[in-house]
Structure 1
Amino acid sequence: MSNVYARSADSPPRAVRARGSLIWDETGRRYLDGSGGAIVVGVGHGATEVTDAIAAQLASVGYVHGSQFTTEAVDSYAADLATVLPMKDARIYPVSGGSEAVETALKLARSYHLARGEDRPVVIARTGSYHGNSRGALAVSGRPSLREPYTPWLSGTRFVAAAYEYRCPFPQAHPDGCAAEHARRLADTIDRCGANRVAAFIAEPIGGATTGACVPTPDYWPRMARVCRERGVLLIADEVMTGFGRTGRWFGCDHFGLRPDIMTLGKGAASGYWPLGLVACTGTVHDAQPANRFVHGFTYSHHPAGAAAGHAVLRLLRGILGGVAAKGDRLATALSAGLADHPHVGDVRGIGLLQAIELVADRSSASPFPRRRRVLEQVTRVAADDGMVVYGSTGCANGADGDLVLLGPPLVTTQDQLDTMAAKTIRAITEVLPR
């Protein structure tokens, strides 16, 4: 019996080695890492540039509290990261993961308004969203299955519809008018709450796990940002999954010319080598608050080893980023070609090396499989038996039903490995759901 409180009822294999896009378990079986864990690993497994940077930092200064000391590692990383962020005069608050980043961003938004003499208690988020599993982050997440056990603790959030083109919530306006309808609904929601009561609108620029790599129409973000700006509502872009090259650009925001007030970052920031999350805000948000008036902090925020890991990853990404879009196109083309006529594949979508396949019971009506069928779990198991790791999500269709297979391999994955990943994914889907 293990003393570990396991993440699932299954007994996963024990990983003993990983390099590039490959993982080996203790029996010697090799797996293609088609998901980078939970869409985390960007620069590949076993990057000695990162492990050496962490070791060197730990050998000099392993830990100091961020309220007592700063370090060269944190200062230099923040300065370098600021050069690629889509915001002016960025200020960066390092934390230990995506959920902590979202908690920090929400408190920062409220603190900003309080410093300006406004009490704005409401946050607006989107249905079908996921922003983390800590209490505040879960309160702005719109995934019912995760919220349900803790509903009495979750309040203060209003929800608008997600930008989900395959299941557009405004079919009468789709496809050319749905962005305008999204913006109108956001404006109405803010106005009903009272524009001077809404602190922020939080959303992923490109859908992550819960809506499966949903890319909004080109006019969606310009319209949504305009609504926020006109009402003094801060725009928080959650780039925990889509940041650091995952979509073929530095950040998902970059595809739309979106310049948020606050960003949350994680996952690919340290590529899994260190539990690193980040909040970035504009100089305007930072400077609105008198020094030391942001009542917040974590024991492990501003960690020097985390900054060293993040900085090493940032340097590696500068040499990797240019090839990600082409790799994403190759993977998307292979998946689309292999699944084009499959009766249980409703949609193949994505951007860069974030690709998703939505499985449906009936393609013509887009009706999902009932959750009791556990279709995703079957596909995941079959793929693993074939030496391939995929990620997935459920509940995309109606909060309970709906199966998504996600691929988000390391950005260093080779062209041949991408072809193999596509073939193995198609084979797993077809074995579970025969044509």
Structure 2
Amino acid sequence: MSDHVFARGRDLPVVARGEGAVVFDTEGRRYLDGSGGAVVTSLGHGVTEVVAAIARQAEAVAYVHATAFRSEALDAYADELAPLLPVDDPRIYPVSGGSEAVETALKMARAYHLARGEDRHVVIGRDGAYHGNSRGALDVSGRAGLRAPYLPWLGSARRTTAPYEYRCPAPTHPHGCGRWHAAQLNRLIDDDVAAFIAEPVAGAALGACVPDDGYWPAVAEVCRRRGVLLIADEVMTGFGRTGAWFASEHWDLRPDLLVAAKGAAAGYWPLGLAVCSGAVHDTLAGFTHGFTYSHHPVGAAAGSAVLKVLTERNLVARAAEGGAELDAALRHHLGDHPAVGDVRGLGLLRAVELVADRETRRPFDRADRVAERVVAAAKDDGLLLYHSTGCADGRDGDLLLFGPPLVIDAGQLDELAARCATALHRVLG
């Protein structure tokens, strides 16, 4: 291990290669990729078509600044992507990842209201949300553990309730929860509020929480009525992950702005997207913003190749089918374990919430580090998982998150669930 790398873990194996939903290290050990890294590698490993597209574009021209040139690669990619986006007359601003996309969308919202002569600057996020680790993205996030070291830099955003059905705070639960959440949002809105940002399906922080069907129609109506731009964070849920091209489609949601990343280039290139509607774009009287690597032609070539593979291999429909298979396998192998409180999700974005008491839904104490121990035991057994903590109250709460490559087959999904159950029994008995 190099002494010059600022590493993100200790005693990590060295990756050698990947094939589909499997990764191998330099010692020859095989790992089933149950999480797609950080829910990124939607196509799996070793897709030569994407690699070739990147190489062709890099050979032709690797980089030009977006203020000096357009590129055929980006023009083509935008035209291919636009019809798939749940945004009216979409305009696509490519960046290098999810955090940059969120920062871009937040600035778009501010610039939109300024162009209309309104000094709106407040953004409302949700409790327990995660939108990125840059300062603006972290400010609108609600994940307490990640925010804590940087609180002196944060504080401009407001937060409302999240549709977390397993621990729903609505007094009418399970009836009318969406309308109740919309009312909580409405109470926070005043003339300073520019935008509301949320994931259509909660990702890492709350673990694949799917809202009730009334949530998004009610929330979208509040935003429209109060003149607040709606930003859909599809960084984790976009590009087929939930069994639709974008999770917004499950509720016919048409956000004013949308952010995406992860599956946009499936890990083959750092690519994020901030998308605004034509109405927002045409209102902007100028947009003071930019990144060195935005509008990158090689990134556009990677994104275009990913779209082609997703389409030709019918992987969006496969995510819906695989999601049902994974749900069934998780319930079969883990559902009866006393520490499994909830199994939830949509498509191939799934989660298991672990609890100390199944009847009362009491979480494990954070000091027990249950999720971390289960993930470590799974890795020892050749399974890669993604975990999250703090879902129950900002401190306690343990989640196992599943976001495998969309190419994973039924046998591998059953192996994933079985190995996860083995790890859980090893840690908790």
TM-score normalized by the length of structure 2: 0.98
> Where do 1:226-237 residues align within 5 Å?
226-237=221-232
- Alignment correspondent of 1:339: 334
1:371-421 CA-to-partner distances (Å, cap 9, x unmatched) read 111111111111111111000101101111111001110000111111111
1:231-274 CA-to-partner distances (Å, cap 9, x unmatched) read 10000000000000000100110111100000000001000000
Which amino acid counterpart does residue 297 of structure 1 have in structure 2? G
SS in 2 for 1:299: coil
- Alignment correspondent of 2:293: 300
Which amino acid counterpart does residue 407 of structure 1 have in structure 2? F
- Alignment correspondent of 2:51: 51
- Alignment correspondent of 2:143: 143
SS in 2 for 1:180: helix
Q: Confirm or deny that 1:309 pairs with 2:310.
A: no
Which amino acid counterpart does residue 177 of structure 1 have in structure 2? G
For residues 384 and 336 of structure 2, the distance between their equivalents in structure 1, rounded to whole angstroms, comes to 24
The structure 2 residue matched to 1:348, chosen from 334, 343, 347, is 343
Q: Confirm or deny that 1:378 pairs with 2:346.
A: no
> Where do 1:236-255 residues align within 5 Å?
236-255=231-250
For residues 335 and 58 of structure 2, the distance between their equivalents in structure 1, rounded to whole angstroms, comes to 50
Could you tell me how far 1:2 is from its partner in structure 2? 2.1
1:203-256 CA-to-partner distances (Å, cap 9, x unmatched) read 000010000000000010000000000010000000000000000100110111
Q: Confirm or deny that 1:174 pairs with 2:173.
A: yes
Which amino acid counterpart does residue 397 of structure 1 have in structure 2? A
For residues 228 and 307 of structure 2, the distance between their equivalents in structure 1, rounded to whole angstroms, comes to 31
Which amino acid counterpart does residue 308 of structure 1 have in structure 2? A
Kept after mapping to 1: 8 A contact 2:87/2:258: no
Kept after mapping to 1: 8 A contact 2:176/2:214: no
- Alignment correspondent of 2:391: 396
- Alignment correspondent of 1:204: 199
SS in 1 for 2:92: strand
SS in 1 for 2:343: strand
Q: Confirm or deny that 1:6 pairs with 2:35.
A: no
- Alignment correspondent of 1:265: 260
1:252-304 CA-to-partner distances (Å, cap 9, x unmatched) read 101111000000000010000000000111000000023xx100000000000
Which amino acid counterpart does residue 255 of structure 1 have in structure 2? H
SS in 2 for 1:83: helix
Following TM superposition, the consecutive aligned residue runs of length 4 or more in structure 1 with deviations greater than 6 angstroms are none
> Where do 1:26-45 residues align within 5 Å?
26-45=26-45
Q: Confirm or deny that 1:284 pairs with 2:279.
A: yes
Which amino acid counterpart does residue 5 of structure 1 have in structure 2? F
Kept after mapping to 1: 8 A contact 2:77/2:300: yes
Identity of aligned residues (%): 60
For residues 238 and 48 of structure 1, the distance between their equivalents in structure 2, rounded to whole angstroms, comes to 29
Q: Confirm or deny that 1:225 pairs with 2:226.
A: no
1:71-128 CA-to-partner distances (Å, cap 9, x unmatched) read 0001100111001001111000000000000000000000000011111011000010
Which amino acid counterpart does residue 126 of structure 1 have in structure 2? R
Which amino acid counterpart does residue 403 of structure 2 have in structure 1? G
TM-score normalized by the length of structure 1: 0.97
Total equivalences in the alignment: 426
For residues 162 and 425 of structure 2, the distance between their equivalents in structure 1, rounded to whole angstroms, comes to 30
> Where do 1:349-364 residues align within 5 Å?
349-364=344-359
Q: RMSD in angstroms over aligned alpha carbons?
A: 0.8
SS in 1 for 2:163: coil
SS in 1 for 2:84: coil
- Alignment correspondent of 2:121: 121
For residues 222 and 12 of structure 1, the distance between their equivalents in structure 2, rounded to whole angstroms, comes to 45
1:119-150 CA-to-partner distances (Å, cap 9, x unmatched) read 10110000100000001100001001110111
